[in-house]
């Protein structure tokens, strides 16, 4: 094994973001001064550095639309993301976050598509108190955003067997191992600050990351062969732990997944992660460290649009990557073990944990926990957690599992849901259970169109149509994003709507819950009110022509061909979805 390298090979000119990181003195920037200043926002460089602390500067996109033009009139606030490895937290931690949301932010808690929580609409004057209070209950925002290893996901099922326990523990170990080490976080948010204390050290405190951290975000997911709810093929590095006689012996390693693409930029694409090999479980942390280190050393630092592992692998090829990996590894990489399509579970409703206890999966539409006029979701979940004190696991589908419940708790859960007007999971259609939408407008600075806000209406329409066709209970995944960055992982769904311009969407079809297949572009720039009408003929054809049990995406593929990137295992084709990759037109 070679020593850790920081070669930043082939180093052309660095991007603005690289410069901001380099000059930040290990994530300090001038955040302390900016927090103390009278403005409602921070400068561009500090906003960049703040991301690694878990904070995103945003502004009210609705107000900008209706208000006057120009930066000065923007109504700024921050989004704070809490990094929760494997999505596991305690009742006390939940209740503390619930209170912080009410007292210091816009009031909602939002479960993300990576098992985190986000607090939205945090005014600058409340940033320090918000982050400090999160830390007081032993949670952190460090590394939740920014150019570092992001939240490490793991299959959320709280089953009491060794493999499930092992992968949860592994997610936490990888997360700890690759957390930034800079003392800036503590100095800025947790100590009595002064410019001196927060700027205290300029020495190299980042043995792994170095002064400029990674070229961009880096995502890790871990699962078992019986569940793909983490969307393993969308990760920069995905580990599928393979049990033998009840114990995890090793991991299949997949690398180079990613969803983000840009409309009209043919050199950008979504890519499914491809097999690298198999390693003993004892080497799993080393595996992730090496893959991240190759990205650190060779990733594109001049053009952020191409600064993801998937582009590096696409450009240099898997053979180069495997060789580079092996050169750095202390062990021999073994051949990838063949695995079939991974099933998918949303864990809704009551399930046995296998230790005499139960868990109960709540379906939270778009992960948004707040009170709506008819459905008092925030109050209801708080009441549940105050009374039952369960364990909590957030899922990659923006849902929440209450864990460790005894027999008597299940009827109480359902009674409390009923009291607060929250539908029981069993009352929801499959489309509603499996649907995902990103936040988009009004908080996301990159949104082109709405997603979370209109998804409930879109699902109402699809539910009615699916009911008319007698397909209400068929598992189908419909995902929506306000732009092509892919935050709700649209490009592996049965059906995806991706914001193309305000109120218009590209429609993609042909993925499936197993997450191992990319979609085709089916129709472009469809007005929001025509989304259902555009898909109606295809839905009807699915009903009429499908094989027994055949899902929508599978029917589409059988009928219209394999599309761009279906076989990730043969390596015959690089599994990418370019912005213009079109399937058969209607």
Residue positions annotated with a catalytic role: 81, 150, 217, 219, 438, 444, 483, 487
Confirm if 105 and 120 have CB atoms less than 8 A apart: yes
- Decide: is 487 part of the binding site for ligand SF4 (CB under 6 A): yes
**Site pattern 436..455 for ligand SF4 (x: CB under 6 A):** --xxx---x-xx---x----
Residue with tokens 């090829």: 317
Write out the H or E segment, with its range, that includes residue 418. helix 409-419
Q: Which is nearer to ligand SRM, 131 or 409 (CB)?
A: 131
Q: Which stretch binds ligand SF4 (CB under 6 A): 250-258, 319-327, 480-488, 505-513?
A: 480-488
Q: Which is nearer to ligand SF4, 399 or 474 (CB)?
A: 399
Handedness of CA 522, 525, 528, 530 (dihedral sign): negative
Task: Return left, alpha or beta for 37; rule: phi > 0 is left, psi -120 to 50 is alpha, else beta.
Answer: beta
- Count CB atoms within 10 A of the CB of residue 23: 13
Q: Which does 28 bind (CB under 5 to 8 A by kind): ligand SRM, ligand SF4, none?
A: none
Contacting ligand SF4 (CB under 6 A), which of 48, 481, 492, 581?
481
**3-state secondary structure labels for all residues of 255-310:** ECCECCCCCCCCCCCEECCEEEEEEEHHHHHHHHHHHHHHHHHHCCCCCHHHCCHH
Stretch 67-106 residues interacting with ligand SRM (CB under 6 A): 79, 81
Write out the H or E segment, with its range, that includes residue 276. strand 274-280
Question: In the β-sheet with 76-82, what is the strand arrangement from edge to edge?
Answer: 55-59, 76-82, 117-122, 109-111, 368-369
- Decide: is 307 part of the binding site for ligand SF4 (CB under 6 A): no
Nearest residue to ligand SRM, scored by beta-carbon proximity: 260
Q: Which is nearer to ligand SF4, 35 or 364 (CB)?
A: 364
Q: How far is the CB of 183 from ligand SF4 (least distance, A)?
A: 31
Q: How far is the CB of 436 from ligand SRM (least distance, A)?
A: 7
Task: Return left, alpha or beta for 345; rule: phi > 0 is left, psi -120 to 50 is alpha, else beta.
Answer: beta
Contacting ligand SRM (CB under 6 A), which of 61, 74, 114, 432?
114
Q: Which is nearer to ligand SF4, 263 or 389 (CB)?
A: 263
- Decide: is 116 part of the binding site for ligand SRM (CB under 6 A): yes
Q: Which does 483 bind (CB under 5 to 8 A by kind): ligand SF4, ligand SRM, none?
A: ligand SF4
* Adjacent-strand bridge partners of 229: none
Confirm if 85 and 179 have CB atoms less than 8 A apart: no
Contacting ligand SRM (CB under 6 A), which of 21, 128, 219, 432?
219
CA atoms of 76 and 389, how far apart (whole Å):
36
- Decide: is 279 part of the binding site for ligand SF4 (CB under 6 A): no
- Decide: is 445 part of the binding site for ligand SRM (CB under 6 A): yes
37: number of CA atoms within 13 Å, CB side? 11
Confirm if 428 and 475 have CB atoms less than 8 A apart: no
Residues at the site binding ligand SF4, with contacts judged by CB under 6 A: 438-440, 444, 446-447, 451, 481-483, 485-487
Residues at the site binding ligand SRM, with contacts judged by CB under 6 A: 56, 58, 79, 81, 112-114, 116, 118, 150-151, 217, 219, 231, 234, 258-260, 308, 367, 398, 438-439, 443-446, 485-489
């Amino acid at each position: 094994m070679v020593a850790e390298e920081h070669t930043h090979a082939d180093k052309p000119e660095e991007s603005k973001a690289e410069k901001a990181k380099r000059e930040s003195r290990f994530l300090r920037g001038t955040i302390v001064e900016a927090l103390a200043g009278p403005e409602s926002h921070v400068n561009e460089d500090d906003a960049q550095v703040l991301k690694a602390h878990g904070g995103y500067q945003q502004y009210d996109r609705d107000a900008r639309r209706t208000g006057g033009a120009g930066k000065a009139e923007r109504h700024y606030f921050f989004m704070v993301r809490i990094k929760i490895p494997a999505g596991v937290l305690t009742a006390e931690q939940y209740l503390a976050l619930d209170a912080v949301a009410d007292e210091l932010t816009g009031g909602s808690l939002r479960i993300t598509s990576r098992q985190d929580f986000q607090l939205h609409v945090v005014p600058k004057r409340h940033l320090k108190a918000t982050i400090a209070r999160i830390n007081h209950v032993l949670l952190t925002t460090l590394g939740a955003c920014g150019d570092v290893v992001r939240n490490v996901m793991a299959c959320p099922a709280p089953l009491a067997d060794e493999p499930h326990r092992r992968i949860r523990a592994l997610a936490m170990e990888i997360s700890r191992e690759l957390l930034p080490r800079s003392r800036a976080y503590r100095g800025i948010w947790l100590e009595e600050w002064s410019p001196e204390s927060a700027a205290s050290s300029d020495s190299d405190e980042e043995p792994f990351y170095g002064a400029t951290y990674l070229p961009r975000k880096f995502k890790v997911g871990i699962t078992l062969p019986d569940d793909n709810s983490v969307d393993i093929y969308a990760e920069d590095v995905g580990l599928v732990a393979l049990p033998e006689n009840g114990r995890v012996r090793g991991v299949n390693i997949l690398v180079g997944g990613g969803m983000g693409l840009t409309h009209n930029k043919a050199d950008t694409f979504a890519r499914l992660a491809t097999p690298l090999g198999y390693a003993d479980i004892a080497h799993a942390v080393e595996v992730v460290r090496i893959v991240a280190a190759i990205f650190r050393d060779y990733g594109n630092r001049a053009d952020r649009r191409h600064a993801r592992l998937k582009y590096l692998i696409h450009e240099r090829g898997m053979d180069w990557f495997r060789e580079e990996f092996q050169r750095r590894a202390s062990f021999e990489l073994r051949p990838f073990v063949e695995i079939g399509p991974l099933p998918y579970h949303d864990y809704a409703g009551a399930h046995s944990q296998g230790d005499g206890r139960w868990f109960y999966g709540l379906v939270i539409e778009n992960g948004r926990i707040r009170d709506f006029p008819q459905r008092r979701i925030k109050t209801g979940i708080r009441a549940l957690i105050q009374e039952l004190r369960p364990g909590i696991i957030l899922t990659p589908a923006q849902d929440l599992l209450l864990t460790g419940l005894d027999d008597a708790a299940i009827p109480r859960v359902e009674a409390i849901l009923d009291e607060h007007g929250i539908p029981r999971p069993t009352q929801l259609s499959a489309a509603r259970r499996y649907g995902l939408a990103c936040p988009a407008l009004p908080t996301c600075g990159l949104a082109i169109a709405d997603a979370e806000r209109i998804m409930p209406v879109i699902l109402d329409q699809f539910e009615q149509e699916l009911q008319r066709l007698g397909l209400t209970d068929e598992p189908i995944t419909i995902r929506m994003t306000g732009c092509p960055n892919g935050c709700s992982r649209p490009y592996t769904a049965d059906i995806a709507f991706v914001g193309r311009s305000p109120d218009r969407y590209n429609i993609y079809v042909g993925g499936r819950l197993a997450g191992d297949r990319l979609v085709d572009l089916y129709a472009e720039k469809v007005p929001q009110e025509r989304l259902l009408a555009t898909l109606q003929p295809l839905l009807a054809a699915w009903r009429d022509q499908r094989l027994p049990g055949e899902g929508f995406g599978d029917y589409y593929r059988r009928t219209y061909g394999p599309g761009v990137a279906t076989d990730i295992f043969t390596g015959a084709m690089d599994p990418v979805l370019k912005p213009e990759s079109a399937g058969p037109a209607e």
